[in-house]
């Protein structure tokens, strides 16, 4: 399944932050650089993420790269053969199995680049992201700009009354806001 004698050492990179912070943009940038270097790449995303495309990872700025939608993290292991770099977008939507999948890929010599929300709309750690950050060799936290005051934003403020943890959306559903504005809105 994986390259048996891979001479490269694998590792895990996590790109995290709020909505509209550029996580997917950075994932696409890194994956395209790997392609430019003639590395074999494969990008995966959860099949529930069909906001912009069913078969592409697409940033809010409309940059895109071909991907493979998967139902579960385990499917990534089955589909990631003979590759140098694996990209995974929206990792917060996978179950905790994504952590072991990323470890196995990295242990087999593959560079793994994972992007996802580090916190949900309530400001609590989101799904497997905290464990992925703890497991990763490299963590990049990117920030949006608060739409209320202009400071650095790291919260994804939900604009609807829906209280489900997973609610796919874009500018019509979420806004990036800073800690101060987030606390101000929570205390109303």
Q: Which residues have a catalytic role annotated?
A: 90
- What's the angle, vertex CA 40, arms to CA 104 and CA 141, rounded to 5? 60
SS3 124: coil
Give the residues across from 57 on adjacent strands.
65
How far is Cα 153 from Cα 40, in angstroms, rounded to an integer?
A: 35
Within 10 angstroms of residue 53's Cβ, the number of other Cβ atoms is: 14
How far is Cα 153 from Cα 140, in angstroms, rounded to an integer?
A: 15
DSSP state at residue 144: E
């Amino acid at each position: 399944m994986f390259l048996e004698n891979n001479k490269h050492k694998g590792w895990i990179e996590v790109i995290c932050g709020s909505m509209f912070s550029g996580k997917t943009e950075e994932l696409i940038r890194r994956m395209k650089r790997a392609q430019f270097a003639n590395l074999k790449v494969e990008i995966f995303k959860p099949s529930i993420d069909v906001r912009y495309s069913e078969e592409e990872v697409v940033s809010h700025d409309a940059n895109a790269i071909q991907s493979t939608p998967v139902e579960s993290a385990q499917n990534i292991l089955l589909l990631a053969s003979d590759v140098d770099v694996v990209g995974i977008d929206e990792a917060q939507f996978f179950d905790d199995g994504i952590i072991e999948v990323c470890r196995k890929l990295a242990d087999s010599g593959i560079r793994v680049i994972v992007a996802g929300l580090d916190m949900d709309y309530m400001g609590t750690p989101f799904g497997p992201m905290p464990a992925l950050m703890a497991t990763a060799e490299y963590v990049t936290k990117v920030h949006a700009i608060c739409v209320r005051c202009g400071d650095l934003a790291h919260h994804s403020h939900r604009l609807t009354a829906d209280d489900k943890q997973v609610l796919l959306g874009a500018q019509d559903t979420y806004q990036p806001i800073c800690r101060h504005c987030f606390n101000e809105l929570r205390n109303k």
